[in-house]
Amino acid sequence: MRSLTRVSTTRTFKRLPREIREQQVLDAAVRVFSHHGFHTASMDEIAEVAGVSKPMVYAYLGTKEELFIACLRREATRLMEAIADVVDPTLGLSDQLWSGLRAFFAFVGAHRDGWAVLYRQARGQEPFAAELAAMRRRIVDVIADMLDRAVRAEGRQIHGIDLEVSAYALVGAGESLADWLADHPDADPDKTAGRLMNVAWLGAAQLLRGDVWAPGGSEPPVTSRDAA
């Protein structure tokens, strides 16, 4: 049974070391996953986009699920490193936050596909959601710690869970704006970071000072304003 294998193709196949191939496959996988979603994406398409045959994908990266996890880890690591490279722990809280946010939005602006995989895909699909949640938890803890140190530096204190929830809100706002950024290619990452600082940090600064919003009266909750 003669199978019609391409006989006279001039196309020549570069032989590349495994590491490079793996990165190419991961690149393709991130793109395909981000466009189609985990389940809808097909391994055949990923292989094709990577310019590699399907058995290679399986040989190097394993099953579809393992491949997706590899994508997750790579993108998350890149993101974390991009931020860690830039944040200077000797600086003040607001400066740390500012530089971190700038790096964060810059990364998302430059890796929209990766962000889509991390944020939109992994969050819902249960095997991965847990892993993703653990990563976010680490970030939240870092932020909460920063807040805590800043508060203590002012000689005051905030209850742990309040800190955690505040940090969670900040992280959530950041993720949400990142999502917005991913959908607005013309938007400027730096400006987005600045806007988030405006909304979030001004509020956080109040918190650090000990100002608290109270639901009681119907008056504007403003803090140091001439009281009504």
Interface of this chain with a copy of itself, residues 57 to 116, rule: CB under 8 A: 91-95, 98
Q: Provide the strand spans (E) within 86-180.
A: none
- The partner in contact with residue 59, picked from DNA, a copy of itself, none with C-beta cut-offs of 5 to 8 angstroms by kind, is DNA
**Minimum gap (Å) between residue 45 Cβ and a copy of itself:** 14
Sign of CA dihedral 128, 101, 141, 75: positive
Q: Is 35 in the site for DNA (CB under 7 A)?
A: no
Interface of this chain with a copy of itself, residues 112 to 131, rule: CB under 8 A: 120-121, 123-126, 129
**What is the C-alpha to C-alpha distance for residues 208 and 156, in angstroms, rounded to an integer?**
8
Residue-wise burial string across 75-110, b where 16 or more C-beta atoms lie within 10 A, e elsewhere: bbeebbebbeebbeeeeebeebbbbbbbbbbbbbbe
Q: Is 185 in the site for a copy of itself (CB under 8 A)?
A: no
Interface pick for DNA out of 35, 54, 112, 136 (rule CB under 7 A)? 54
Q: Which amino acid is at 212?
A: V
Q: Provide the strand spans (E) within the chain.
A: none
Interface pick for DNA out of 27, 43, 82, 201 (rule CB under 7 A)? 43
- Residue among 117, 107, 102 at smallest CA distance from 31: 117
Q: Which amino acid is at 96?
A: Q
Q: Is 71 in the site for DNA (CB under 7 A)?
A: no
Q: Is 17 in the site for DNA (CB under 7 A)?
A: yes
The site string for DNA over 184-213 (x = CB under 7 A, - otherwise) reads: ------------------------------
**What is the C-alpha to C-alpha distance for residues 71 and 4, in angstroms, rounded to an integer?**
35
Interface pick for a copy of itself out of 23, 59, 209, 210 (rule CB under 8 A)? 209
In order, the DSSP letters of 36-102 are H-TTT--HHHHHHHHTS-HHHHHHHH-SHHHHHHHHHHHHHHHHHHHHHTT--TTS-HHHHHHHHHH
- The partner in contact with residue 86, picked from DNA, a copy of itself, none with C-beta cut-offs of 5 to 8 angstroms by kind, is none
Q: Is 160 in the site for a copy of itself (CB under 8 A)?
A: no
- The partner in contact with residue 202, picked from a copy of itself, DNA, none with C-beta cut-offs of 5 to 8 angstroms by kind, is a copy of itself
Residue with tokens 């600082």: 197
Q: Which residues bind DNA (CB under 7 A)?
A: 3-7, 9, 12-18, 21, 40-44, 51-56, 58-59, 63-65
Q: Which residues bind a copy of itself (CB under 8 A)?
A: 35-40, 91-95, 98, 120-121, 123-126, 129, 133, 162, 165-166, 168-177, 179-180, 183, 190-207, 209, 211-213, 215-216, 218-223, 225
